[in-house]
């Protein structure tokens, strides 16, 4: 019996989905690389054998992954590949690509953020917070950076005051950072899968959109932050901060898409478009904020007048 290359690849991808989680736990090398590989092979396997079988294989794989580490090791295991399953399930239910991607990104953000919360709670304890701030101050002093600050007119007291303000914010936003990283994993792997695996033609970047109701993510984040601030509820306030950060990461991409659409309409070269986009996104914080709000309002007003039902080929 001769096995075709396509069948062999399907069997190999099934084995990877089934046993890679176990191997990652057994040899303690869970990382973004493992998650990226799993997301890719999950997407490939759903196309080859269907979503139900792939979900069963992945579920068994994760059950096996708990054998070496136990339930207590749940924080060591990455669950972002399940967002890939959700993406395909929603797409098969007849949702548009933008809707499917939106909900899968939200699941990825939630999956990425939840394991970080216990560490954040621990880091925000007053004694741990003070210890970390003192460690940072000692590091800057040992490196002789205080003298450089003083030459720029920044006193040690001013720097310490700023540090005591920023360090708690950094820890408070750690769930959002983890969630955004998980979103990047899912989004970039899906993009890679669509472009290089099957050659499907993608919608141009200048026409990328998210469903209009994505604006509610920002509204919920703002409401939670303001409510937590008003009622002096730190949990609600920090939750709002993280939701707003996740929403900002999504709307910034839409803002970049709007900018690319504008530049493209001016008949500039593609190379010049990407140079301007990258400069705007990463050089100027002011323009980056403008991109966030442009993407946010585009969700509601559809500045580019893109038809809601405009879709590219199925994944």
* 3-state SS record for 264-306: HHCCCCHHHHHHHHHHHHHCCHHHHHHHHHHHHHHHHHCCCCC
Q: Would you report the helix, strand and coil content of the chain in percent, each value rounded to 5?
A: 80, 0, 20
Contacts of 176 (CB under 8 A, 6+ apart): 109, 113, 241, 242, 243, 245, 246
DSSP string, 63-132: HHHHHHH-GGGGGGS--THHHHHHHHHHHHTT--HHHHHHHHHHHHHHHHHGGGHHHHHHHTSHHHHHHH
- In this predicted structure, what is the pLDDT of residue 108? 97
- In this predicted structure, what is the pLDDT of residue 313? 47
Contact 237, 231 (CB under 8 A): no
Residue 304 CB neighbours (<10 A): 15
What burial letters (b/e) apply to 277-289, b meaning 16+ CB within 10 Å? beebbeeeeebbe
Residues 86/89/92/97 CA torsion (nearest 10 deg)? 0
Contacts of 222 (CB under 8 A, 6+ apart): 240, 244
- In this predicted structure, what is the pLDDT of residue 194? 86
pLDDT-flagged residues of the chain (< 50): 1-2, 313-315
């Amino acid at each position: 019996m001769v096995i075709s290359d396509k069948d062999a690849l399907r069997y190999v991808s099934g084995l990877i989905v089934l046993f890679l989680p176990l191997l990652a736990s057994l040899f303690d090398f869970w990382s973004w690389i493992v998650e990226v590989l799993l997301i890719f092979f999950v997407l490939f396997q759903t196309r080859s054998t269907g979503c139900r079988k792939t979900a069963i294989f992945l579920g068994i794989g994760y059950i096996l992954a708990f054998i070496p580490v136990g339930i207590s090791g749940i924080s060591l295991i990455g669950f972002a590949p399940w967002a890939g399953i959700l993406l395909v399930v929603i797409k098969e239910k007849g949702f548009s690509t933008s809707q499917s991607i939106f909900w899968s990104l939200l699941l990825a953000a939630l999956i990425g953020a939840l394991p970080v919360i216990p560490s954040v709670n621990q880091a925000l304890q007053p004694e741990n917070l003070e210890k970390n701030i003192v460690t940072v101050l000692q590091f800057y002093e040992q490196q002789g950076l205080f003298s450089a600050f003083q030459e720029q007119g920044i006193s040690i007291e001013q720097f310490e005051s700023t540090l005591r303000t920023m360090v708690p914010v950094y820890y408070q936003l750690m769930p959002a950072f983890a969630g955004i990283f998980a979103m990047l994993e899912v989004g970039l792997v899906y993009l890679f899968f669509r472009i290089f695996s099957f050659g499907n033609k993608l919608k141009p970047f200048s026409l990328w959109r998210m469903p209009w109701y994505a604006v509610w993510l920002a509204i919920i984040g703002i409401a939670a932050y303001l409510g937590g601030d008003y009622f002096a509820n730190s949990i609600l306030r920090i939750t709002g901060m993280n939701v707003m950060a996740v929403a900002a990461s999504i709307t910034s991409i839409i803002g970049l898409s709007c900018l690319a659409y504008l530049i493209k309409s001016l008949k500039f070269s593609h190379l010049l478009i990407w140079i301007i986009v990258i400069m705007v996104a990463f050089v100027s914080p002011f323009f980056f904020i403008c991109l966030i709000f442009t993407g946010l309002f585009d969700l509601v007003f559809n500045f580019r007048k893109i038809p809601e039902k405009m879709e590219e080929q199925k994944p």
